[in-house]
Amino acid sequence: MENFVRPVLTLPDSAERLLLHSCCAPCSGEVMEALHASGIDYTVFFYNPNIHPKREYLIRKEENIRFAEQHNVPFVDADYDSDNWFERAKGMEWEPERGVRCTMCFDMRFERTALYAYENNFSMISSSLGISRWKNMQQINDCGIRAASQYPGVKYWDYNWRKQGGSARMIEISKRERFYQQEYCGCIYSLRDSNKHRKSHGRDIIRIGVKYYGDDDTEGAC
Ligand code: SF4
């Protein structure tokens, strides 16, 4: 995207800094560079107890830490309370992607983000989750707004990170950085369903930790 000009962003409500929930390096790469280019003061908040197995979680987190360090951005490494996630997912094991299990999953991640924002004087939160075309942006925004509304003085910024070339830049940055390319959304159920789909199409099942952007022309599936 040689002629790409990033829009200059400003935080709503004259907020001075942003707590950015990040789901992974590929999704947050463009968001972070857009914030950086606009001179917005932000901190990355990594809270994703949905990711399974732990090896996959650690790979995704380490990639994100590396990129944050490269940009001198503070990175908050929150808890991997996966038992809590599994407890909340009970009864939703067979729900499809973008269904109620995903609403629970987004709620959980935003609730922790909003709590941290409240306790640490951030008045604005947002997330990289919405940049992926695999996600339902309205579902994500509803969860973000719901979580922020529980804490006085905290608001959710529903900026559409996909627009004005954001989606294409996300792929471009992922290839430039040779980010790890996850091949399923994150939870054990999305791994199961992705593998089932692959098997039904005669493809090999997912292997954790082997694929990186730029290896071929396929896109990730976060
Ligand atoms: S499919 Fe993705 S968003 Fe939905 S519950 Fe699993 S990890 Fe969370």
Could you read off the pLDDT of 15-40 as tens digits, one per residue? 999 999 999 999 999 999 999 999 99
Q: How many residues does the chain have?
A: 222
- Residue-by-residue DSSP string for 109-161: HHHHHHHHHHHTT--EEEESGGGSTTS-HHHHHHHHHHHHTTSTT-EE----T
Using DSSP, state whether 22 is helix, strand or coil. coil
* DSSP class of 7: P
Using pLDDT thresholds of 50, 70 and 90, give the confidence band for residue 159.
Answer: very high
Residue 218 has pLDDT above 70, yes or no: no
Asked, as a colleague might, if the bond just before 53 is cis with ω within 30 of 0, I would say yes
Q: Which pLDDT value is given to residue 133?
A: 83
Whose C-alpha lies nearest to ligand 1, atom 4? Answer: 102
Residues with CB under 6 A from ligand 1: 50, 97, 101-102, 105, 185-187, 189-190
160 C-alpha vs ligand 1 centroid, how far in Å? Answer: 20
Mean pLDDT score, 81-107 = 97
Instruction: State the average pLDDT over residues 178-188.
Output: 96
Q: How far is the CA of 138 from the centre of ligand 1 (A)?
A: 15
Q: Tell me the whole-structure pTM to 2 decimals.
A: 0.94
Ligand 1: atom nearest CA of 189 is 6
**Percentage of the chain exceeding pLDDT 70:** 95
pLDDT mean across residues, the chain: 94
pLDDT given for residue 175 in this prediction: 96
Q: Is 18 strand, coil or helix?
A: strand
Return the pLDDT at 215.
Answer: 84
